[in-house]
Amino acid sequence: INAAEDPWASSAGADGWPFTCIDACPGATSAEPGPVAAALVDSDDLWGSSDDALFAHLSPGTDAITLEALIATPSSSAEEWAKACLAARAGVDPAAPYLAVCRPADDQRLRVQLRAAQGEDSDAIEQGPPAGLDDETPAFVRLERDAGGLCARGWGSADGAQWSLIAEHCFDAPLTHVGVAASGHGGPIRLLFVDLEATPGGPVHADDLGVVLLGDAAGEVVAGLGG
């Protein structure tokens, strides 16, 4: 479903909790235990030799860091190649080198995308699902950047417990900026990052991220489901 297009199809509250109480619910939990951040983006694509996408990053650096999240994407009424990613970039120039582990919006597999050098075309390595699951089912992603910032890798999982390496790459310049990326592939879309967490650092909230709009992209990152 795509609750942004068909609000009747979702019972979730604004903070992501899957149900809204009909009557008073004293003491009831009304929000997800971890942070939920919505990327609201209208853009072309995170691809090719230059990106048109939203990028929201933590403070720049080159220390070792791992990011993990459950990515929720619409599975109808959406461009299938819209993408939500965890990404590490060598700066915020649209043509900068990067490595990102991405979940496309619909009917596609988890993938690692990377641009090996400034202004080069992007490459992609896809991960097939475990036996018995559809291509689009795996939704957990992990991004690792080594100390020094030169090497990064992307992992995928169907359950958040058993992880498979999709791809890794070492760059000539450090990947100084780590965070989330989102692209609409030709239109507006809402993409959700659930339980986004950094190691070291802990839970990552929407207001922990500095938003950069690459190319002609428009958008923002907000807490919760984003309306």
pLDDT in tens, 3-14: 555 554 555 555
Do 167 and 125 contact (CB within 8 A), yes or no? yes
* Interval 69-85: pLDDT, tens: 999 998 766 788 999 99
Report the distance separating Cα 152 and Cα 220, nearest Å: 26
Contacts with 29 (C-beta within 8 Å, 6 or more apart), sequence order? 17
Distances in Å between the Cα of 182 and the Cα atoms of 51, 154, 159, 179, 193 are 10, 16, 22, 10, 10
* pTM exceeds cut of 0.75: yes
- Domain-wise residue ranges, the chain: 34-223
Q: Domain 34-223 carries which CATH code?
A: 2.60.120
The secondary structure element, H or E, covering residue 180 is strand 177-183
* Interval 82-112: pLDDT, tens: 999 999 999 999 999 999 999 998 778 999 9
SS3 of residue 115 by DSSP: strand
Do 181 and 53 contact (CB within 8 A), yes or no? yes
Do 10 and 19 contact (CB within 8 A), yes or no? no
Burial 116-130 (b: 16+ CB within 10 A, else e): eeeeeebeebbbeee
Report the distance separating Cα 105 and Cα 115, nearest Å: 21
